[in-house]
Amino acid sequence: MILLVDADSLVYSSCYSPKHIDGTFFDNLDDVTHKFDEGFQKIVNELSTLHNVKEVLVFNNGRGNFRKLITKNYKANRIGTPKPPFLNEIHDYVNKAYDSYCAVGMETDDLVAIYWKNLSEVWGRDQVMIVSIDKDYLQFPALVYRYHNKELCDLNESEARYNFYEQMIAGDQADNVNYFFGKGKKFAEKYYTNCVTEYQYRKRLYLLFKDKYKSKAKEKYSECYNLLKLRTEI
């Protein structure tokens, strides 16, 4: 098994001191690196007891996200939010200590997705596992280990397709992507009744964009799609 670890969330959470319930950050880098090492090794050890882990690839600290060129609203909700102290330093530490891969011009998710596709084609889909708490990976027919609740998602093509088109309606609040405020997972479930193929999902979804955005439906559909769809090719 090859593990593809999206370490961004683990890096961020490692900046928080567990001794304080009010979200206090650590005040020295040694504590941050120790927490990361401990958390990372725990995840790998858990998976190693269940799978024959042959290789672990780590990804973090993507820079130059192309999605911010699509719309200024992308992640605009994060502007002004203070970053944890030592965040840049712990990213640098992970880069050096774990020989991690850093995305350029895209997000960490995209680079992981590219590796997942390429490695799956070589070694087989069941020999590659994405390790992340990010729900965006559920748009792929992949093995995805969500370490925060120790959930292994074994997604088929149909489930992955539905997850993506559900997100096109429900949006992604964390990234400030929401083209249908007030419409969530329950609405999507009913709206997509009887949809099976990619064409059926796209046609049904476009009608929703047409109803709301009228003459700008095509533009908004494309915008939403490109914000939420992870790249699998460079």
Amino acid identity for residue 118 in this structure: N
Using one digit for the tens of pLDDT, what is the confidence trace for 112-121? 999 999 999 9
SS3 146: strand
Q: Look over the chain and give the mean of its residue pLDDT values, rounded to a whole number.
A: 95
pLDDT digits (tens, 9 = 90+) for 171-200: 999 999 999 999 999 999 999 999 999 999
* Type of residue numbered 102: C
- Report whether 91 contacts 134 (CB < 8 A): no
pLDDT at position 209 over 70: yes
- State yes or no: pLDDT of 136 exceeds 60: yes
- How far apart CA 192 and CA 195 sit, in angstroms, is 5
Beta sheet of 128-131, edge-to-edge order: 55-59, 2-6, 128-131, 143-146, 151-154
pLDDT for 21 equals 56
Average pLDDT over residues 157-178: 97
How high is the pLDDT of residue 22?
62
Q: Is the pLDDT of residue 23 over 70?
A: no
Percentage of the chain beyond pLDDT 90 is: 92
Work out the pLDDT band at 80, boundaries 50, 70, 90.
confident
Whether the pLDDT of residue 20 is over 70: the answer is no
Give the per-residue pLDDT at 81: 84
Q: Is the pLDDT of residue 19 over 90?
A: no
Domain boundaries, the chain: 2-155, 158-228
Quick check: 158 pLDDT over 70? Answer: yes
pLDDT above 90 (res 44): yes
Q: How far is the C-alpha of 43 from the C-alpha of 131, rounded, in Å?
A: 9
Is 0.75 surpassed by the pTM of this model? yes
pLDDT at residue 224 in the model: 98
The CATH fold of domain 2-155: Rossmann fold (3.40.50)
CA distance 214 to 144: 37
The encoded tokens of residue 181 equal 């405020």
Record the tokens describing residue 171, joined without a space.
């949006």
Token pair of 230, please?
């992870």
